[in-house]
Amino acid sequence: MIEQIKGINIAVEGCFHGNFDEIFGTIREIEKQKKIKIDLLLVCGDVQTHRNKHDMFNMACPVKYLQMGTFYKYYEGKERAPCLTIFIGGNHEASNYLREMYFGGWIAPNIYYLGDSNIIQIKKGNTTLKLGGTSGIFKIFDFNNPKLEQFPFKSEQLRSVYHSKQIDLYKLSLYEGEVNIFLSHDWPQQIHQYGSTKELLKKKQNFEPDIKSGRLGSQPHKFTLERLQPNFWFAAHMHVKFEAFVKHKSGKQTKFLALDKCLPGRDFLQVFTYTNEQKDLYDQFAYNDEPIELFYDPEWLSIVQTTYKLLTLWDKMPKLFEYNSALKELQIIKKDKFEEFLNEKHVRMKIFGNHKIKIPNNFEITSPPYDEQDTTNRLIPPKRVPLNNQMKDYLKLFNESGQELNGLIFYEPDQPRIIGEFVPQDFLQKQIELENQKDILQQQTLQQQQQDEPSSPKDDELNIQDFPFLQ
């Protein structure tokens, strides 16, 4: 008798780079050929969720590669993702829009951004899994920076905004529960040791110096991998497929898979079926068609509430980690403080632990979508990072209004802001002036660019017919 598999059919993708139509087209193609329903698409960053030109200019990228992409059609509802799609951020993103969803939220119907870091629960029938993830890439010089970038982002902040921050690693370090799948953009440092380094070097000779010096990948991710020991870890960024298998001292195991970017003929997608036994099945699929549901994770909510006060310190956030060069690893500073945070988390878990809170379907358009008829390079106001309905609903779970984060995470120039003693009083005026200067410069650069190079297509411009069936 053929066993009826009950589980979640999952597709994992490397880097999106704005190719929404192409990747969703590939998903539909796989569904047709395999006669299955993909329940969930997980994306490991570089998604480029530009709602409009203003978002496009908030992405770090050489001007000649600035492209609108196709996200705006999904944002305004003309197109819909074929399955629930969950992603983390990489180093090419509409950083203003992702900042708006700092704690995680729906960036379009059926497309959920996990936020700067997060752990949530996914349920389909009797199959449940805990999904974690953290956005950005690691650069040591920005990691211990106590403050977050304040919008409008100045040119150097447009890069540092996606560099991993200590607060996210601290939050993840406070998590003691089990995590099944974890997503990151860059790889955990040293992960190459647990797979075929030889094969990797064959495909990517230029990794040799970094591998030799032990600097390939992210230190915070190495720390998280050792702490959370998830069953699966998916990543991207290096533009190469790579598999590894980590056996932890505890006896637990992590299967690591990195995927390539979305280009014809490249390994950018992997399909498997997740079951409660944590088996990743590759040749059998689940046919149970219950709806897939998302829930907040009580332990994660407790961590967000416990660490909220660190955020509200603005520039005064203390250094939370230091690098031990002898051991070549990050270490938590002030273990006693960390213990206090853990204890506070345990107290809060007594409250959140009793509730199963569904992630609400509360997507709303917050900025005008791209107008295809608009051939000018006009940027779209308003230039704000609104404290939107989704973040307000989320912060209500902790009895917080979010107003104290205006100017730090959000940017609502018209709303009352709580100016701390460390924020200069003319801060707002200066930020607005900077933003205006930046706009003028961007428009001039773009106009110059268009005069110099009359629209030559990018080499890797994609067509749906370029995508062979992958499985």
Largest distance between two CA atoms of the chain: 74
Count CB atoms within 10 A of the CB of residue 407: 23
# chain residues binding Mn ion, by CB under 5 A:
4
Residues 260-272, buried b or exposed e (16+ Cβ, 10 A)? Answer: bbbbeebbbbbbb
Binding mask 202-241 for Mn ion (x = CB under 5 A): -----------------------------------x----
Each residue of 84-110: b (16+ CB within 10 Å) or e?
A: bbbbbbbbbbbbbbbbbbbbbbbbbeb
Is 184 among the residues that bind Mn ion (CB under 5 A)? no
Q: Name which of 80, 88, 81 is nearest 47 in CA terms.
A: 88
Strand-pair partners of 17: none
Of the candidates 220, 118, 223, the one whose C-alpha atom is nearest the C-alpha of residue 171 is: 118
Q: Determine if 90 is a binding residue for Mn ion (CB under 5 A).
A: yes
User: Three-state SS for 108?
Assistant: strand
CB of 18 to Mn ion, least distance (A): 13
Q: Does 293 bind ligand 5GP (CB under 6 A)?
A: no
Question: Residue number with the shortest CB distance to Mn ion?
Answer: 237
Residue 241 interacts with ligand 5GP (CB under 6 A): yes or no: no
Task: Write down the least CB distance from residue 260 to ligand 5GP, Å.
Answer: 10
The sign of the dihedral angle between the CA atoms of 215, 219, 223, 224 is: negative
Q: Which of 139, 239, 279, 392 binds ligand 5GP (CB under 6 A)?
A: 239
Q: Take residue 107 and report the two structure tokens written for it.
A: 């960036």
- Cβ atoms 415, 403 nearer than 8 A: yes
Cis peptide before 382 (omega within 30 of 0): yes
Q: Choose the one of Mn ion, ligand 5GP, none that binds residue 238, judging by a C-beta under 5 to 8 angstroms depending on kind.
A: ligand 5GP
91 binds Mn ion (CB under 5 A): yes
**Residue 243 bridge partners (DSSP):** 257
Q: Which of 3, 35, 141, 206 binds ligand 5GP (CB under 6 A)?
A: 206
Q: How far is the CB of 210 from ligand 5GP (least distance, A)?
A: 4
Query: Residue 364: which residues within 8 A CB-CB, separation 6 or more?
Result: 388, 389, 390
Tell me which residues in 80-109 interact with ligand 5GP (CB under 6 A).
91
Question: Is residue 46 close enough to count as binding ligand 5GP by CB under 6 A?
Answer: yes
Q: Is 262 in the site for ligand 5GP (CB under 6 A)?
A: no
The one segment of 99-107, 171-179, 194-202, 235-243 that binds ligand 5GP by CB under 6 A = 235-243
Q: Which helix (H) or strand (E) holds 190?
A: none
Residue 301 C-alpha from the chain's centroid: 18
Is residue 64 within the footprint of ligand 5GP (CB under 6 A)?
no
- Which one of 148, 172, 238, 395 is in contact with ligand 5GP (CB under 6 A)? 238
Task: Indicate the SS3 state at residue 257.
Answer: strand
93 binds, among ligand 5GP, Mn ion, none (CB under 5 to 8 A by kind): none
Contact 68, 31 (CB under 8 A): no
Q: How far is the CB of 186 from Mn ion (least distance, A)?
A: 7
Pairing verdict, β 181-183 and 232-235: parallel
Minimum CB–partner distance for residue 13 and Mn ion (Å)? 13
Select the binding partner of residue 168 from Mn ion, ligand 5GP, none (C-beta < 5 to 8 A, by kind): none
Looking at 23, 94, 216, 462, which residue binds ligand 5GP (CB under 6 A)?
Answer: 216
Part of the chain binding ligand 5GP (CB under 6 A), chosen from 65-73, 220-228, 237-245, 283-291: 237-245
148 touches, from Mn ion, ligand 5GP, none (C-beta below 5 to 8 Å by class): none
Question: What is the rounded distance in angstroms from the CA atom of residue 90 to the CA atom of residue 192?
Answer: 20
**Cβ-based nearer residue to ligand 5GP, 100 or 186:** 186
Q: Look at residue 302 and give the partner it binds from ligand 5GP, Mn ion, none, a contact being a CB closer than 5 to 8 Å depending on partner kind.
A: none
Residues engaged in binding ligand 5GP (CB under 6 A): 46, 91, 186, 206-207, 210, 216, 237-239
Residues engaged in binding Mn ion (CB under 5 A): 46, 90-91, 237
